Amino acid sequence: MSPQDFKPVMHPAGFDEPLARILGEVRTGHWFSMAELLADSTRDRRLRGTRISLLAQVAAGSNAVDQWVAERPRDPDAVVMAARVAVERACKAAAKGLDQAQNLGRRAAELCAEAAAIDPADPAPYLGRLALAAGFGERVEGPASCPVPGPWHAFRDLWRVDPANREGCHRMLGAVGTGPGPSPAGAQLFAASIVTGVGLSSLSPLQLLPLYALVVAYEYRKAQGDGLAHLLWTTDATKTEMARGWNWFTSTGKDDWLVVDLSHLAHALVVGGRSDLAADVFGALGPYGSNRPWAVVSAVGDAAEEFVRARSTALSAAARRTDPSGRARAGP
């Protein structure tokens, strides 16, 4: 099969095949497999967090969690899922400007508080509070290190429970960088404050946060009709972030990777002139891809087509990876 014939699997569960297998059941209102999956995730809080986030998005459109709570009202996983589903529904209502949004928001906040009381060390309820604050447009001034308005009260509460939580930082990035009165410069400032100012581990996937902020900035400039938006990927600052991302990739392994993180790194390497290195990232992705950043950077909004084009470019560059002496080329 030629690289151009490759068809990526663009599934939101990414590498998490057990999660992917049960999402259809959740959509149709069945909860038992969801309960089993979360029970099996208790020893890995990062995995549990990503599962809860996607399950809540899917379950918000069904009665699966409502039935779970009715059957097992004291199950901590059921309670936290009820809170996160309530947050999803409230935020959707707020985005649509529905009259019941405020009441749904208050109820969601109550459920998050109940879940936090059951397990104060669990970041999931605090992530729900942060999503709720972002969805309802909470804006307070940030700290001196990042004086950008956003839902900082909820973010600080989460940070006290789980410093450098990946989902929390990405939600803050979205809150300060998009929506009404978007501030792509604010998103970039927030990302920089995380990777340079909080003693972040070199193994943290948040090392890629500035690459996400660049996509936010590109999307904004593209929407403004800026024909030079692509030059964002050619600056020395961007090359620094490419190198940061590459160092993270080469220092970690599959258990540390999410498809969307690898996708942002692969894209940055291709447009930043290091397609030869991007080939390794595409190799790590295997058959998987993600909607972002590919849909954003595509001229026609076709994520799969843009992914295949970038992958083909990277594989071609990989064939020319060695220099004339036969040595592999260095990282960015």
pLDDT in tens, 56-106: 999 999 999 999 999 999 999 999 999 999 999 999 999 999 999 999 999
What pLDDT is attached to residue 326?
45
Residue 276 amino acid letter: D
d(CA 31, CA 142): 39
Residues 6 or more apart in contact with residue 277 via CB below 8 angstroms: 246, 269, 329, 331, 332
Domains identified in the chain, total number:
1
Q: What residues pair up with 214 in beta bridges, in sequence order?
A: none
Terminal alpha carbon distance of the chain: 30
The answer as to whether 27 is a domain residue is: no
Please, are residues 297 and 306 in contact by the beta-carbon 8 Å criterion?
Answer: yes
The answer as to whether 309 is a domain residue is: yes
Which residue's structure tokens are 């960015």?
332
The answer as to whether 319 is a domain residue is: yes
What pLDDT is attached to residue 325?
46
Domain membership of residue 268 as a residue range: 208-332
What pLDDT is attached to residue 2?
61
Please, are residues 267 and 310 in contact by the beta-carbon 8 Å criterion?
Answer: yes
What pLDDT is attached to residue 177?
83
The answer as to whether 184 is a domain residue is: no
The answer as to whether 37 is a domain residue is: no
What pLDDT is attached to residue 332?
75
The answer as to whether 265 is a domain residue is: yes
The answer as to whether 237 is a domain residue is: yes
Q: What residues pair up with 322 in beta bridges, in sequence order?
A: 328
For the whole prediction, is pTM greater than 0.75? yes
The answer as to whether 331 is a domain residue is: yes
Low-confidence ranges of the chain (pLDDT < 50): 324-327
Residue 246 half-sphere exposure toward CB, CA atoms < 13 A: 21
d(CA 281, CA 277): 7
